[in-house]
Structures are given as structure tokens and as C-alpha cells.
Amino acid sequence: MIKLNLRLILIFLEISVIPLFLISYLALYHAKKMVTEGTLSQLEQVVAVNQSRLRIVLGENNGIVERLVSGVDLKQASAAAVLKVKIEREDLEKILDDEKVNISGVDDVFLFDQSGKILNSSGLFKVGSSRPALKGILSKDKSKSTIQKFVLDEQGVLKLIAFKMISDGTNGNFVGVQRNGDYILSVFENYTGLGNSFEFLLVDHDKYGNVIFVNPTRFDQAKPFSKTTPGDDFSQSTTMAIAGQEKRVEDSVDWRGKHVLSVTRHISETGWGLVAKKDQDETYLPVLKLSSLLAVIAVVAVVIIVLISLSAATSIVAPIKRLIGVTTKISGGDLTQRAVVESKDEIGLLELSFNEMASRLKDSYGSLEKKVAERTSELEVIRKNLEVANLNLRELDKLKDEFVSVASHELRTPMTAINGLISMIFEGDYGKVNVGLKEPLQNISTSTQRLIALVNDMLNVSRIETGRVRVVLSEFDVKPLISEMVEQLMPIAIEKGLSLRFTESKDKTLVQADKDKIREILNNLIGNALKFTQTGEVILSVTSNADEVKVLIKDSGYGIAQDDQARLFGKFKQITSQQIGKPSGSGLGLYISRELARKMGGDLWIDQSNPGKGSVFAFSVPASGSGMAKLIFEKTEKENKPTSSRQELMAKIAQKKKLS
């Protein structure tokens, strides 16, 4: 918020203050220029007027001198063979009269020689007296034109002497007129109305080449011929003037060291310089005053502008701030917030559309929530259904379990009776058996045994699948077990004329396994080997390493093709071929055996087999103390469930028996 406010204020300031300053600057610049021009024009006017007046005086002097010269010359010409130049005073006076020029301020006219000695005078000077002042102005020019020079006379008073050489055959005599210096200087404009720092200067070269001030200065009342400045200091306009430069100088330094505006003029006849000057301080005072005023105005204006722009910015930013407040609340979760629309401008529009957006958001949020609630309740229903289904499945599982248990139990009982009675009949318990009956009875017995085996297998499979097979682990040597099973099945081998043996080995054969399960596996594998071998032998062997003990059952039977090998381990799978015909057995044996082996942490597989070349079946169990043994031990510890559920089951079966 601060940022936006600041930016707006800055913009306002820039818009208003920059032009303000620009205009002020321009105004001041222009004012200064005008003042400068005005002052210079003023100075120029003054100096021009003074110049012309001075020239008039010089002209007057020139006239007098010319008349004197011609008067003397005439006299010279008329006086023959007169060696000394002699002009009567009356003549000089007469010349003055003749001129009838009301020339005021003429002290005297006189004749003098090169040494400054007065040869003749109209009254003021004693003839024969020497005037060093005259000598001083003579020493420079030897020209034949009128020379006019300011000098200080014997009393130190300022005089103007105009003189000219006369050609009387004797070189070095001059005729001159002396005028009152102050009178001449009085032709200059006085200082009234020209300002406090206005000064007019008349300057000449002194004999050293310096610039010497002729008229008294205004500021320190220096007397004539009392002040000099270096003749090469062109920073001063007096130096410029005496050098012949006639110009308007905007900035130069005067004899006080102050900066002045000046205008210079030059009197070429006498080599004098004229300068009218005015201090810059005084000249530009009004401009300074103006700039001060403008500065004050500017400051005030800036303050006002800042205040105005502050309020303007705030008023622009305020609705934005309000809107931010509303948006924050909405994003905080309160979707009922709305902006208050106060203006009809773009901000108002923004607020309006924002409100609409918020409303839409609220609606869609609401509908979204509704949808979510709906979906949740749908899912809840589904979940409940799934739970029910799950329970049903578990029930089903239990029922299946029960069914299998009940069925197997129920099936076994009559089969036990059949089998038992037949065996008793064969044993002669019911009298001598008719020879002809032997075969059919035997067939009945065999069939019954097959039924029993089938029921056993189905029960096993069911129990394996429902995980009801309990593995009881113990550590034992597997070799005696193998010998035991070999002995048990020997009768079958003998009957078929097969050799059945167990090749001992020196290997350590301690295993961690379930004894009964091993017996089952051996029973199955040896039984299969004997079943599927017509001639030859069935040999058992055992090998071991640190991890497992492997038992191999080799037969010289039909062999099994590659393709069939995998299928063998499936449920109810048997190999049928023309050689074997349909073998007996449920087809579950290998499946069960392999599951049992795996349950104990081992495995069961066909090591090798080829049609016509016999087979080698193998199974492995963890060696006692191996890593796998430990794992299986831990696993079975966890898995062996309590027997209460089993007792429940038995109770149920008993109940069913009662009902049937």
C-alpha cells in the first residue's frame, strides 16, 4: 500500500513540480537576460553621451589651438627677420575674443617651448616661468597634430591642456590652451538615477604604460591621477577601453575587484578610454529577489501538492485497500465477504466483478461440497457393502473349510469301513474266500484306496490354500527318514521288480523341517517314481551345503517332456500317454508336495527329465542353523494359530453329525 501511495504522490509531484521548476528557471533566466540587456543599454547610452560631449570639448580645444597656431603663423609670416617669437598678449586675448566662443573654463592660452618655459601667455602664467607639467606631456609625442592631455598643474589641480607645435622655423615651440579639468569632467552625466554602483571612468596611459584613472572614482573618492591598474589586466574593462575596444561587457572585474557589467568607449584622438559600469550585485538584485520569491512559492507549492496528492493517492488507493481486505478474508475461508461498491469508476467495476466472482466461487464451492458429501455417502455405502461382502467371504471361507473338513471326514468313514472289511475278508476273517472273488475284491480295495487318497489330497489342498497347514519344525537328520520311507515302500518296488535304494553320503544332513511333511513328500516322490517306472531302478541320494539339504530321486522311468514339466505341478495334472495310460492318483500329489516344501522354506522341482531317459526329481529344505531356517522358524512361530477355532470347527462337525 505504501508503494502505491508513494508512486502516485511521486507522479503528482513530477507532473506539477517539474513544470513549475522549468517555468521558474526560464523566467529567471529571461529576467536576468532582460536586466542585463537593459543595464548594458543604459550604460551604453551614458558612455556614448559622455563620449560625444567629451569630443565636443576636445573639438572646441582643437579650434582654439588651430586659431592660435594660425594666428602665430600669420604673425610670423608678417614679421620679417624677427628671430624671437613674440606674440602680444593682446593678440592672444583677441584670439579668444575673436572666437567669440563662449568657452567656459579656459584658464589661459600660451606659448611655450620644449622645456616647458612659457614664452607668452594670455595672463595666467608668467612669461619665462617654467611649467614642469608642460614638460611632462611634451616628452612623448613629436607629432604635428593637436595633442590634448589632462594634467595636474603646479597646485595639483586637474587641467586639460591642448597644444600644438608651431612651425616657425625654430622647432619645439608650442601653442597651448589650458582648461579647467573639473569643468571638463562636469560634462559627464552625473550619477543620479543610474544606481548606487554605477561608475563612470575616464582613463589614460601613464608614462609607464599603466592605466591611470583621470576622473575621481566614486567609491573611494580617489583624486584624479591617483589610481592606476596594470596595463595588461584585460579582465578590467578600463584596460579594454584604453586599448581601443568598444564593447558591451557582461562580466568583467573592476578596480575594486568586483564583478560588473560595463560598456567601453575609446577616444582615438587622445587615446583615452571611457567605461560606464555597474555592479552585478546591484544589477541582478531584482532577479535574485525574484528567484527567492519563486523558491518560496515553489516550496509552498510542493507542500501543497504533496498534501493534495497524498489525499488524492489515498482516495485512489483506499478502495484498493478495502478490496485487498475483502480478498484476504475470502482466501481465509469466509466466502460470504463482499466488497462495498462506492464509486462508478473502474475501481467500482472491479469491485462489482470481484463480488460476482466471489459469489460464483461460493456457489461452486457449495455445490462442490454437496458433491463431495454425496460422493462420501456413496462411498460410505460402498464401503459398508464391501465390509458385508468381506464378512460374507470370510464366512464363505470358513464354510468352505468346514465343508472340506466335514466332507473329508464324512467321506472317510464309509471308506474306512469298505477298506477295512475288504482287508478283513482277504485276511480270512469272514471265512475262506472264493478264488474267483479275489480279483474283484482286490479291485474294490484298490479303488477305495484311491478314493481315500483323493479325499486326503483334496483336504490337503484345501488346507494348504486356506493356510491351515501347520508346520511343526524340529531339527533332525534327514537320512534316517529317507531310509524309513524306502523301507516302507520297498514292497511296491519288489512287486514291480524294480530296484529301490538309498545311496548314503558323508554329507552333514541336519535339517530344520517338519518330519511328517518330509515323510509325505518322500512318500509322494518315491511313489511317483515307482509308479512311472516299468523297469530299472529308483535311487535316492542326498547332498548338502551351508544353506540347504537337497534330496534327489532318480528313476529310469518314462521321463517327462519339457513342455509337460511345468504343467505337472498344477492341480489335478498328470501326464497321460499311450505308454502309461491313465495313471492312478489324484494328480494333486506334486502340487501338495511342492507347497509343503515351500512352506518349510525349501522347494521342489524337476532336476532333469527327458522322454525315455527317466527323471530326477529334487526337493530341498533349509539346513539346520541356516539363515532361511531362522526365517522359517520365526514365520511359523507367528503363523501357528491357537487351536480354539479348530475346536469350534470340530464342535460344528459333531453337531452336523448329530443332525444327519
Partner 1 sequence: MAKVLIVEDDQFLSKMYGKKFELAGFEVEIAMDGQEGVSKMRLTKPNIVLMDIMMPKLNGLDAISQAKADSLIKNIPILVLTNLANTDDASIAVSRGAIGYLVKSDVTPLQVVEKVKSLLASPQNPK
**Cell numbers found for residue 40:** 548594458
Region binding partner 1 by CB under 8 A among candidate stretches 94-102, 300-308, 401-409, 544-552:
401-409
Q: What does the radius of gyration of the chain's CA atoms come to, in whole angstroms?
A: 75
Q: How many residues bind partner 1 (CB under 8 A)?
A: 31
Helix (H) or strand (E) holding 523: helix 515-531
Contact between 602 and 620 (Cβ < 8 Å)? yes
Minimum distance from residue 634 beta carbon to partner 1 (Å) = 20
For partner 1, the closer CB: 281 or 516: 516
Contact between 624 and 545 (Cβ < 8 Å)? no
Region binding partner 1 by CB under 8 A among candidate stretches 43-51, 239-247, 496-504, 649-657:
649-657
Taking CB under 8 A as the rule, does residue 646 contact partner 1?
yes
What is the pattern of x (binds partner 1, CB under 8 A) and - over residues 516-555? x---------------------------------------
**Cell numbers found for residue 549:** 539339504
Sign, Cα dihedral of 557, 559, 564, 568 = positive
Question: Given candidates 340, 424, 437, 566, which one binds partner 1 under the rule CB under 8 A?
Answer: 424
Cα separation of 205 and 199, whole Å? Answer: 19
Determine the 3-state secondary structure of 11 from DSSP: helix
Sign, Cα dihedral of 562, 568, 573, 578 = positive
Site for partner 1 in 429-448 (CB under 8 A): 429
Minimum distance from residue 524 beta carbon to partner 1 (Å) = 15
Q: Any idea what DSSP says for residue 194?
A: S
Site for partner 1 in 257-276 (CB under 8 A): none
For partner 1, the closer CB: 375 or 646: 646
**Cell numbers found for residue 360:** 460464483
For partner 1, the closer CB: 358 or 459: 459
For partner 1, the closer CB: 166 or 422: 422
Cross-strand bridge partners of residue 173: 113, 166
Cα separation of 91 and 84, whole Å? Answer: 16
Contact between 339 and 323 (Cβ < 8 Å)? yes
Could you give phi then psi for residue 433, rounded to 5 degrees? Answer: -95, 130
| Residue 631: how many other CB atoms lie within 10 Å | 12
Minimum distance from residue 471 beta carbon to partner 1 (Å) = 9
For partner 1, the closer CB: 226 or 645: 645
Cβ neighbours for 465, distance < 8 A, ≥ 6 positions apart = none
What length does the chain have?
Answer: 660
Minimum distance from residue 602 beta carbon to partner 1 (Å) = 19
Question: Given candidates 314, 456, 483, 636, which one binds partner 1 under the rule CB under 8 A?
Answer: 456
| Residue 208: how many other CB atoms lie within 10 Å | 9
What is the pattern of x (binds partner 1, CB under 8 A) and - over residues 459-498? x----------x-x--------------------------
Question: Given candidates 38, 414, 480, 583, which one binds partner 1 under the rule CB under 8 A?
Answer: 414
Taking CB under 8 A as the rule, does residue 366 contact partner 1?
no
Taking CB under 8 A as the rule, does residue 638 contact partner 1?
no
Region binding partner 1 by CB under 8 A among candidate stretches 41-49, 89-97, 114-122, 454-462:
454-462
Taking CB under 8 A as the rule, does residue 343 contact partner 1?
no
Region binding partner 1 by CB under 8 A among candidate stretches 103-111, 319-327, 416-424, 498-506:
416-424
Minimum distance from residue 506 beta carbon to partner 1 (Å) = 32
Torsion of CA 339, 341, 342, 346, to 10 degrees: 110
98-134: burial string, b at 16+ Cβ within 10 Å, e else: eeeeebebbbbbbbbbbebbbbbbbeebeeeeebebb
For partner 1, the closer CB: 126 or 641: 641
Minimum distance from residue 520 beta carbon to partner 1 (Å) = 11
Minimum distance from residue 659 beta carbon to partner 1 (Å) = 10
Phi-psi region of 122 (alpha: psi -120 to 50; beta: other; left: phi over 0): alpha
Taking CB under 8 A as the rule, does residue 637 contact partner 1?
no
Region binding partner 1 by CB under 8 A among candidate stretches 50-58, 330-338, 620-628, 646-654:
646-654
Q: Any idea what DSSP says for residue 139?
A: S
Question: Given candidates 244, 420, 491, 625, which one binds partner 1 under the rule CB under 8 A?
Answer: 420
Region binding partner 1 by CB under 8 A among candidate stretches 318-326, 449-457, 488-496, 563-571:
449-457
Minimum distance from residue 427 beta carbon to partner 1 (Å) = 6
Helix (H) or strand (E) holding 517: helix 515-531
Question: Would strands 173-180 and 158-166 be described as parallel, antiparallel, or unpaired?
Answer: antiparallel
Query: How far are the Cα atoms of 42, 92, 225, 226 from residue 215, in angstroms, in the given order?
Result: 20, 30, 8, 9
Minimum distance from residue 494 beta carbon to partner 1 (Å) = 19
Question: Given candidates 68, 305, 404, 415, which one binds partner 1 under the rule CB under 8 A?
Answer: 415
Question: Given candidates 297, 417, 437, 494, which one binds partner 1 under the rule CB under 8 A?
Answer: 417
Q: Any idea what DSSP says for residue 222?
A: P
Among 209, 207, 226, CA closest to 217:
226
Region binding partner 1 by CB under 8 A among candidate stretches 217-225, 346-354, 414-422, 547-555:
414-422
| Long-range residue pairs from 134-141, CB within 8 A, at least 24 positions apart, any chain | 134/161, 134/163, 134/174, 134/176, 136/207, 137/161, 137/163, 138/114, 138/174, 139/207, 140/207
Question: Given candidates 17, 49, 302, 421, which one binds partner 1 under the rule CB under 8 A?
Answer: 421
**Cell numbers found for residue 49:** 553621451
Taking CB under 8 A as the rule, does residue 135 contact partner 1?
no
Minimum distance from residue 437 beta carbon to partner 1 (Å) = 18
Among 533, 498, 501, 500, CA closest to 615:
533
Minimum distance from residue 581 beta carbon to partner 1 (Å) = 26
Enumerate binding residues for partner 1 (CB under 8 A): 405, 408-409, 412-417, 419-421, 423-424, 427, 429, 452, 455-456, 459, 470, 472, 516, 643, 646, 650-651, 653-654, 657-658
